[in-house]
């Protein structure tokens, strides 16, 4: 009987993989990005997998919740949610970092529920012989489009012995256009996002203009990660009017975004001011944004993302997906849920092109004309490469990074870097 199958063990393995010297509003990426890989083992010998944040506070809350889930059926998603909510407690001494949702303690329960839900859905799919998307109501598309996610970047990490990545320096408009050409050439993306909030707005706008000239008709987005003041964001809006598909999180706060919305024709998008259902309610009342970028890793899972999509439909908002540095298990979870959302209106974000390493069998997930194809096999449709998992775990043990800190990393290049926000 299907109901007799029980979760007998949960393994949580922190991993580290190489990441590029990518600049953002907070500073710069460290040479290593962290994730945690979850394996749910069942009484009938199956393994369900999931990928989530690997920062120390996240590992602590995953460990808190782990014992209360062992013994459940993989179909007990609602009981799992109740138990996680009743169990996770704030982690003493946890330091929060704005651009690393893995460190946000208010979202601890939602993050753990998401990580557990994906592994349980993977198991459910294996048990009934259906892909995860079918458990979410079925696919409304068989390929999920992603965007070319460009970053300002240095050619090399600070210090040694980090080998340079294949992307070179990305600072000037010409270099950013070159980065886009390379990324689109490799993966076929059909829309472009530039991570901003790094240089003076005039320089970032010049880069967007150069992209628009190099790729006529290609939808473009700029995301300064709330590093522009309201005044700066209002002043920049007319210049960006004809260039952008949406204006992503230029300025902080629901109120700030609502005020900006009164000064621009551009749709405002966010993964910073609407990150919970409570913020959603307040954002709708204020008229803060037109597009919500969901992230199942902190919204509470794939089913919660579908609930968010329905709320967006009800309130006339667009929906797409946000990303942090991640590997293929997360990419497949994003693909399954995005394939089930009928009102997905934009290509999803993914950092995936910046990652060289993988933890899934068969290596990196392929993009086909900028999209990921839904696998037809049961569950998530991907399995762990155990050798790769062991190697990436060794890297975690050796690398010394335990919590993402882009500010401290930036101060290695620029000791007086203040890191205050909004900076422009
Ligand atoms: O990885 O540098 C980064 C990004 O800035 C990331 O932290 C953001 O969460 O990609 C994200 C975004 O769209 O805001
Ligand atoms: Mg963003």
350-392 pLDDT per residue, tens? 999 999 999 999 999 999 999 999 999 999 999 999 999 999 9
**What is the residue-averaged pLDDT of the chain?**
96
Domain presence at residue 418: no
Looking up residue 187, the CATH number of its domain turns out to be: 3.20.20.120
Higher pLDDT, 62 or 161: 62
pLDDT the model gives residue 3: 80
The average pLDDT across 162-169 equals 92
Q: What is the pLDDT of residues 224-270, one digit of tens each?
A: 999 999 999 999 999 999 999 999 999 999 999 999 999 999 999 99
Q: What is the pLDDT of residues 197-208, one digit of tens each?
A: 999 999 999 999
pLDDT the model gives residue 246: 98
Q: Strands, DSSP E only, in 1-71?
A: 7-18, 23-24, 27-28, 32-42, 47-53
Residue 103: pLDDT above 90?
no
The average pLDDT across 326-332 equals 98
Domain presence at residue 421: no
Output b/e per residue, 235-259; b: 16+ Cβ within 10 A.
Answer: ebbeebeebbbbbbbbbbebebbbb
Instruction: Label the pairing between strands 220-223 and 246-248.
Output: parallel
**Residue 336 appears among annotated catalytic residues:** no
Regarding whether 296 and 186 lie in a shared domain, the answer is yes
pLDDT the model gives residue 203: 98
Looking up residue 73, the CATH number of its domain turns out to be: 3.30.390.10
Q: Is the CB of 225 under 6 A from ligand 1?
A: yes
Regarding whether 167 and 101 lie in a shared domain, the answer is no
Domain presence at residue 194: yes
Indicate which atom in ligand 1 lies nearest the CA of residue 272. Answer: 14
pLDDT the model gives residue 101: 74
Whether the CB-CB separation of 266 and 241 falls below 8 Å is answered with yes
By CB neighbour count within 10 A (0-12 exposed, 13-18 middle, 19+ buried), where does 16 fall?
Answer: buried
**Residue 322 appears among annotated catalytic residues:** yes
Regarding whether 225 and 324 lie in a shared domain, the answer is yes
pLDDT the model gives residue 194: 98
State how far the Cα of 150 lies from the Cα of 168, in Å rounded to an integer: 13
Number of structural domains (the chain) is: 2
Higher pLDDT, 96 or 367: 367
The average pLDDT across 62-76 equals 97
Distance between Cα 165 and ligand 1 center (Å): 19
Name the residue range of residue 260's domain.
137-373
Regarding whether 207 and 353 lie in a shared domain, the answer is yes
The average pLDDT across 339-352 equals 98
Regarding whether 291 and 167 lie in a shared domain, the answer is yes
Distance between Cα 41 and ligand 2 center (Å): 35
């Amino acid at each position: 009987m299907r109901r007799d199958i029980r979760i007998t063990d949960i393994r949580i393995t922190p991993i580290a993989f190489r990441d590029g010297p990518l600049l953002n509003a907070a500073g710069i990426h460290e040479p290593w990005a962290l994730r945690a890989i979850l394996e749910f083992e069942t009484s009938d010998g199956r393994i369900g997998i999931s990928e989530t944040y690997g920062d120390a506070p996240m590992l602590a809350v995953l460990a808190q919740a782990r014992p209360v889930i062992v013994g459940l059926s993989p179909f007990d998603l609602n009981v799992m949610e109740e138990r996680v909510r009743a169990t996770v407690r704030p982690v003493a001494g946890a330091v929060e970092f704005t651009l690393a949702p893995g460190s946000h303690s208010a979202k601890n329960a939602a993050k753990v529920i998401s990580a557990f839900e994906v592994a349980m859905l993977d198991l459910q799919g294996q048990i009934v012989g259906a892909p995860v998307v079918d458990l979410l109501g079925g696919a409304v598309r068989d390929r999920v489009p992603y965007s070319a996610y460009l970053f300002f970047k240095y050619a090399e990490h600070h210090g040694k012995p980090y080998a340079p990545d294949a992307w070179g320096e990305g600072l000037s408009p010409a270099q950013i256009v070159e980065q886009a050409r390379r990324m689109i050439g490799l993966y076929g993306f059909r829309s472009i996002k530039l991570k901003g909030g790094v240089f003076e707005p005039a320089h970032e706008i010049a880069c967007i203009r150069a992209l628009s000239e190099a790729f006529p008709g290609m939808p473009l987005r700029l995301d300064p990660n709330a590093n522009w003041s309201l005044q700066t964001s209002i002043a920049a809006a007319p210049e960006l009017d004809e260039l952008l598909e949406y204006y992503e999180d230029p300025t902080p706060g629901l109120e700030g975004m609502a005020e900006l919305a009164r000064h621009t024709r551009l749709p405002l998008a966010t993964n910073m001011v609407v990150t919970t259902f409570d913020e959603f309610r307040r954002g709708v009342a204020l008229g803060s944004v037109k597009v919500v970028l969901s992230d199942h890793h902190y919204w509470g899972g794939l089913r919660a993302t579908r609930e968010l999509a329905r709320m967006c439909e009800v309130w006339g908002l667009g929906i797409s997906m946000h990303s942090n540095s991640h590997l293929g298990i997360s990419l497949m979870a994003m693909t399954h849920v995005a394939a089930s959302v009928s009102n997905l209106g934009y290509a999803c974000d993914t950092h995936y092109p910046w990652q060289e390493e993988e933890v899934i069998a068969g290596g990196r997930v392929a993009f086909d004309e900028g999209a990921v194809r839904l696998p037809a096999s049961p569950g998530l449709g991907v399995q762990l490469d155990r050798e790769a998992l062991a190697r990436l775990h060794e890297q975690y043990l050796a690398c010394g990074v335990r919590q993402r800190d882009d500010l401290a990393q930036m101060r290695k290049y620029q000791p007086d870097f203040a890191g205050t926000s909004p900076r422009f």
